[in-house]
A and B are shown apart, each in its own frame.
Chain A
Amino acid sequence: GDSVTQMEGPVTLSEEAFLTINCTYTATGYPSLFWYVQYPGEGLQLLLKATKADDKGSNKGFEATYRKETTSFHLEKGSVQVSDSAVYFCATNQAGTALIFGKGTTLSVSS
Chain B
Amino acid sequence: NAGVTQTPKFRVLKTGQSMTLLCAQDMNHEYMYWYRQDPGMGLRLIHYSVGEGTTAKGEVPDGYNVSRLKKQNFLLGLESAAPSQTSVYFCASRDRGGTDTQYFGPGTRLTVL
Nearest CB in chain A to that of B4: its residue: A43
- Scoring B4, B33, B90, B102 by chain A CB atoms within 10 A of each residue's CB, the highest score goes to B102
Residue count of chain B within 8 Å CB distance of chain A = 23
In the bound complex, residues from chain A placing their C-beta under 8 Å from that of B43 are 44, 89, 99, 101
B90 touches A46 (CB 8 A): no
The residue that B42 contacts in the complex, of A32, A43, A46, A101, with Cβ under 8 A, is A101
For chain A, residues 45 to 99, give those with C-beta under 8 angstroms from any C-beta of chain B: 45-46, 49, 89, 93, 96-99
Q: Fill in one digit per residue for A31-45: 1 if any B CB lies within 8 Å of its CB, else 0.
A: 010101000001111
Which residues does chain B contribute within 8 Å of A36, judged by CB atoms?
A: 104
User: B2 at interface (Cβ–Cβ under 8 A)?
Assistant: no
Report the separation of the CA atoms of residues A36 and B92 in the bound assembly, to the nearest whole angstrom.
13
A97–B48 Cα distance when bound, in Å, is 8
CB distance from A47 to the nearest CB of B (A): 11
Most buried by A among B56, B90, B104: B104
Closest to A8 in B: B40
User: Of all chain A residues, which has the CB nearest B105?
Assistant: A43
CB-CB under 8 A from A46, the residues of chain B are 101-103
A103:B40 contact, CB within 8 angstroms: yes
B41 touches A99 (CB 8 A): no
* A103/B42 contact (C-beta < 8 A), A97-B31, A98-B58 known: yes
Partner of A43, one of B33, B50, B104: B104
**A34 and chain B: residue at smallest CB distance:** B101
User: Contacts A98-B48, A103-B40, A103-B41; is A43 near B107 (CB within 8 Å)?
Assistant: yes
Kindly provide the distance from the CB of A64 to the nearest chain B CB, expressed in whole angstroms: 15
Supposing A101-B42, A103-B42, A104-B42 touch, asked if A43 and B106 sit within 8 A by C-beta, the answer is yes
A32 to B100, CA, bound (A): 8
